[in-house]
Each structure stands twice: as C-alpha cells, then as structure tokens.
Amino acid sequence: MKQHLTITFIFIIALLCNSVNVNAQSGITPKPLYEELQKGIFTIKKKTAVYTNLEGEERTNMLSFLKESSLKISKKGKLGKKNTISLLLVEKSEEFPSPESYQLSITPAKITISATNGAGLFYGVQSLLQLANQNEDSRIIKLPASLIKDTPRFGYRGLHLDVSRHFLSKEFIKKQIDMMAYYKLNRFHWHLVDGAGWRIEIKKYPLLTDSAAWRPYNTWKEWNKNGKLYCTKENPKAKGGYYTQEDIKEVVAYAQSRFITVIPEIEMPGHSEEVLAVYPELSCSGKPYVDSDFCIGNDSTFTFLENVLTEVMELFPSKYIHIGGDEATKKGWKNCPKCQARMSSENLKNVDELQSYMIHRIERFLNDHGRKLLGWDEILQGGLAPDATVMSWRGEQGGIAAAKASHQAIMTPGEFCYFDAYQDDPSSEPKAIGGFLPLKKVYSYNPVPDSLSSEEKKLILGVQANVWAEYIPTPEHMEYMIYPRLLALSEVAWTAPERKSYTDFYERALKAVTFLESRGYNTFHLKDEVGERPVSLVRENHLAVGKKVIYANKYYHNYTAGGDSALVDGYRGGWAYADHRWQGFIGKDLDVTIDLGSSMTVHSINADFMQIIGPGVWMPRNVEIFVSEDGITFTPIKQIDNDVPENKEELVFRDFGWEGNAVARYIHYVAHLNNKGGFIFTDEIIVK
C-alpha cells in the first residue's frame, strides 16, 4: 500500500518533525511535512529557465503548465546552471515514500524539485507556485531560500460534484480541476447521472440525452415539486444539458495533465427515474414515471447497464467505476414477477440480497474489463461484492464494516464531508439542504477510526468532499459552497496529523480566499464568519439537569445525542440536527417524563424544535405539557400549537414552552408528530 505509512516512513516523520524549525512557515496549503527556512533569496527573472529530465507527454504537459502559470517560465535551461528551476526524476528511496512525494530546495542560485514520479514533481511545482503567488503583487517574484520535504498522508484525495440536479459546463469543471490540482487533490468523482438528469452521451441509447437530460423547469426544486417530468431539448422551457463524448475526453485529458483521475458515477439500481422515463421497459411496472429502481429480474436491464458501462469505460481510464448503489427504494421488486423469479432462481432471501446479486453481477462485468467497482455504503446490504471498495457516507460505519471485512474504503461521512450543508449562520447564508459544516469542523476530521486495527487502518484509502446540488442551482453558488472548505479537506487528506494546526490553517485560509477571488472564484467570506448558534456555546444550568428521564418512545438510533440523559444534560444544540446535541424521533411522538427528584416550584418549561424540510425535519404538530407531584395524576398546564408553515423552506427554530407557577416533581412533555411525518428534533427541556 504505497499511499500508507510504512514503518520506515513513520521513522522519517518522527525524525523530520523533531528537527523542524517551528518558526519556518511557508504558507503552503496543504501544510508540508517538513519546512526549513534558510538564508538568502531566489529571484525569478526574465532569463530564469527550466530544466527537466521528464520525457514524452509528461514533459510536454509540465513545460506547458509552467509557461501558462503565474511563473510564466518558457525558456529551456541546462542542469546545474544558475537561475534555473530543475525538475528532476530521481531513483526511489526512503526519502520518497510515495510516488507523490517531493522535495523542494530553493537557494539563491537555483531551485530544484525532486521526485520519483511526474506526480511528485507536479506537486512540488504547486508548492512553488503557492510561494510565488504570496508575493505576486510585486513586479519581481522573490522566493526565500528554503527546504521542503513533503509526502501525502492518503493516496485518495477527492472532490465529488453533482451535475445531474443542476448541469455545470465543462469549462466550470476544468476550472475546479485547476484548483484541485493547486491544493494537491487527485480524484475527481463526477456524479454524471441521477433522477434529475442524465449528463453523458451514450451513443447506443440516444433517448438518454434527447429527453432524459432535459426538464421543463429551471431548478431541481421546481422539477421535484411538479411531477419530476422530462422533456426534449426543443421544448421552449427546456433546462439541462449533457456532455458529449468529446467533452468527456477533453475533461479527462485536462485532469490527467494535472495528475487528477476522473471517476465516473453511473447510478444503479436506484436514483434512475430519468432512465426509466425514456426506457420504461427496464422498470418493474413497464410504465414511465412509476419506478425509480431498475428491474433486477429483467435481463434487459443488465444488457442496458453493460452497454452503458462499456461506452463509459472507453471514455474513462480510471481503475474505479462508481455504480452508486445508494437509497434504492426496492418497492417494485417485492411485487414484480420477474424480480421474484430471480430471487427464487438465485435462492435470495430478501430484496437486500437481490440488490447484492445485481452489484455482484456488475462487479464481475467490470472486473472482466480490468476495472474495479466503487459504491456508496449501501452496497454492503445483502453481502458485499468480493473486490468492491466502499465509499462511506452514512457516517463511518460503512467504511469500518468494509475494512473489518478486508475491503478498501474511502471516508466521506456527511457530518464532515458534505459541502451542501450550511457553513455559517443559516439566516445569513444562501439556501442549503440543511446541516451545519463550518470550516473548522471539516478541518477537524480524522478519516481513520480508532476502532480499526493497524492492518485495517491501511484499508482506508483516503477521504472525499461531496457537493450535492439540490439547493445549488448556479455555478457561483457551487463555488461558494466549495471554497474555502475544500482547502480544509485537502489538508485533512494530505498533511500528517501532528503537523496540523487550525489556528495556523485559518490564517492561511483567509489569505487563500483573497487569492481565490483574484482568480475569479466565488467564495464564502471567511473573515465575516458568524459561527455556531450562540445558545450552544454556553452550558444551560436549570432544575432538570442530570435528572432521570423516562421515554415512552425511543429516540432514533442515529440521533441519540448521547442517550437517555441528552435532554437534561445542559447542552443546547447548534445549527444542525446532526451535531450530537439534537435528539431525533422518526415517525413517532417525543413523549418523556422528567423526575425532578422532589416537589418544587416551577416557573417555566421550554424546549426548542427545528424545521428544515429538505431532509424531512418538521416542527411538532403541537406540544402538551403536564405536571404531577406523585407521578400518577398529571395536570395539563399548556398546549402549544405549531404556527410554522409546513412549506417554509428556511431553517427555523421555535420554542414550545410554558411560563407560570406550579408545584411539581414530575414533568410530562409530549411533542406530537407533524402530519408530514418524518423527523422531529429537540435539544434540551429546560426547567426553571
């Protein structure tokens, strides 16, 4: 596993970190493993030349890149000459633990970048560019003499963009690839198809781009609310688009020249409404606009998928092909004669195993063509395909389960890696699907769970940021959600944990925002950051803190907020229900009784609830509050009806409480489920 730390590499890290000059800060992001400031200055002049022993296409690409970069160096030089930048491939050694490792030496006379691979040289150039861009306002670029030795923590460092829900031009994609390369990310996960639109030309199935790529609505929200209909490009209201195969080749080549691998995602079996609308014979019902899952009992489904994947593999040389595998409803399969016949003939016990059958079959097809299957963590359901790699998004459990089963995994949990969440006070931000993921939280993530053994930890290939576009209708909005959070993710993915410091990173991120904006990127204004919900920052002291809570209905296992004591621990929730402070109930009332331990005078009972309708979180229909001295006879003291509209899309907080005078030992608090169902969340029941 070249991308993981060997025993030798661990020794090198310890040696370098112990000897590092802590006062030497290059300002490079992601932060290098070792930095040493030395004496003197190297000045880039008109006569500055470049020498490299790279050959072939890599040489051509590198020289072209340097010429077009802010360094604007095109003159060819000779090895060892003064005022020359030398890019040197060297023999493999312990000093270069990874093909992406590099060393950058700047002296007053010359600059030397060394690596064992073109990728390492390219990342050394990115560090050089960052140093140069720090004083680009000067007419002459002067670089302090220094020595940098660097290597990545993970071999997989990714960004995922959803272009199905809102189409993004190939120029926009290439623009993001530029910045991925600048911050040393090396995997672009292209979410090309989903229910909202098919975005890749497949010559064997023209209806996918003639119709399934277009809809008579400008935004995903409008489409989602109005029947999820598609149309042809000729429709005057048509919105959408797709990439021709030539577009795909252009983007893939552009990414390759920057040492970025493009991984395509072709969704199956779920999220396939767009396919089944134009090829309904591949669905269980055989009718358009009925099903969202492929019919797995139908051999024509596999013919279609294999034909599509054949064309996809011709366009993408990546080792991995992502097949989705997430959030299949599986509804049609239970009553579909073809699916039931498949289950019988294959001795499958349930629909989870039916999905697993499909995943196994597709994996065999990919393996036969020299590729590997990558899928979201639902591919674990019913049994994981033999050689599959899991992308863990529903927390870390999928990645942990995969590693414990000796499978490789990529960590991308929503709590830390979903950039479609708000990054600041939601009232001051563009609409998002929900959640709260500030820069600091992204930076805090450690993709290697402590629960894994040393051997299992080696199976964690890396980490990825995901940007889903339901609530991101424009390119400007997309960039706003990406930057500067992507910089934090890059440092999580590249930098050794012992070298990380959020204080140091934050200062670099502030400068990076200015740089990004100067390059035409639309970023979140980090300097104006508000931060976390104020009430969550101070512990609330009240009469019920630490008291016993009796639950009539159990909270949802993914949102326990700490368990039975969560609603009386004194801690209020932040902007997001997934912050481990909010306790969630799905499909049932919140119904609890608090024992204060003895009778006392009570003047107020309050609890906050939230509503964010994108992920299905609603206010309670109403709240009833009762008090009792004996725990047997309860007196109602207040009913509070909800007055927040069910169609209000913004994140809303509302207090449901009572004020007055009562003597009570027991407090019975009931929040009735909204007519919409879904979740209700509260953070604390405050008694004063």
**Rounded Cα distance, 85 and 109, in Å:** 10
Which tens digit of pLDDT belongs to each residue from 116-134? 999 999 999 999 999 999 8
Which tens digit of pLDDT belongs to each residue from 279-318? 999 999 999 999 999 999 999 999 999 999 999 999 999 9
DSSP β-bridge partners for residue 191: 162, 265
Which tens digit of pLDDT belongs to each residue from 92-118? 999 999 999 999 999 999 999 999 999
DSSP 8-state symbol, 204: T
The amino acid at 202:
I
At 9 the pLDDT is: 42
**Rounded Cα distance, 365 and 355, in Å:** 16
Could you count the other beta carbons within 10 Å of the beta carbon of residue 22? 7
Rounded (5°) CA angle 444-559-391: 55
The structure tokens listed for 23 are 């006062």
Rounded average pLDDT over 452-476: 98
Write down the domain spans for the chain.
7-150, 156-528, 536-687
DSSP 8-state symbol, 389: E
Give the H/E segment covering residue 50: strand 49-52
The answer on pLDDT for 135 being more than 90 is: no
Q: Which CATH class is domain 156-528?
A: alpha beta
At 80 the pLDDT is: 81
Nearest to 425, CA basis, from 416, 433, 414, 436 = 436
The answer on pLDDT for 399 being more than 60 is: yes
* pTM for this entry: 0.93
The answer on pLDDT for 7 being more than 50 is: no
Residue 321 three-state SS: strand
Nearest to 593, CA basis, from 553, 621, 562 = 553
The structure tokens listed for 186 are 């090396």
Give the H/E segment covering residue 189: strand 187-191
Region of 482 on the Ramachandran plot (φ > 0 left; ψ -120 to 50 alpha; else beta): alpha
At 139 the pLDDT is: 72
Domain 536-687 in the same topology as domain 7-150? no
Question: Which of 415-419, 432-436, 629-633, 656-660 shows the lowest mean pLDDT across its residues?
Answer: 432-436
Catalytic residue numbers read: 194, 271, 327
At 18 the pLDDT is: 40
> Would you place residue 614 in the very low, low, confident or very high pLDDT band (cuts 50, 70, 90)?
confident
At 10 the pLDDT is: 40
**Rounded Cα distance, 685 and 683, in Å:** 7
* 110-115 vs 583-586, strand pairing mode: unpaired
At 137 the pLDDT is: 63
Q: Are 411 and 489 in contact (CB under 8 A)?
A: no
List the alpha helices (DSSP H) in 134-266: 170-182, 207-210, 220-225, 245-256
CATH numeric code, 7-150? 3.30.379.10
Q: Which H, E and C letters describe 101-156, residue by residue?
A: CEEEEECCCEEEEEECCHHHHHHHHHHHHHHHHCCCCCCCEEEEEEEEEECCCCCE
Residues 33, 39, 42, 43, CA torsion sign: positive
Q: Are 355 and 297 in contact (CB under 8 A)?
A: no
Question: What is the residue-averaged pLDDT of the chain?
Answer: 94
Rounded average pLDDT over 24-46: 92
At 138 the pLDDT is: 66
At 3 the pLDDT is: 44
Q: What's the topology of domain 536-687?
A: Jelly Rolls (2.60.120)
Could you count the other beta carbons within 10 Å of the beta carbon of residue 227? 9
List the alpha helices (DSSP H) in 316-413: 337-345, 351-368, 397-404
Spell out a b/e string for 383-399, using b for 16 or more CB atoms within 10 Å of the CB, else e.
bbbeebbbbbbbbbebb
At 20 the pLDDT is: 38
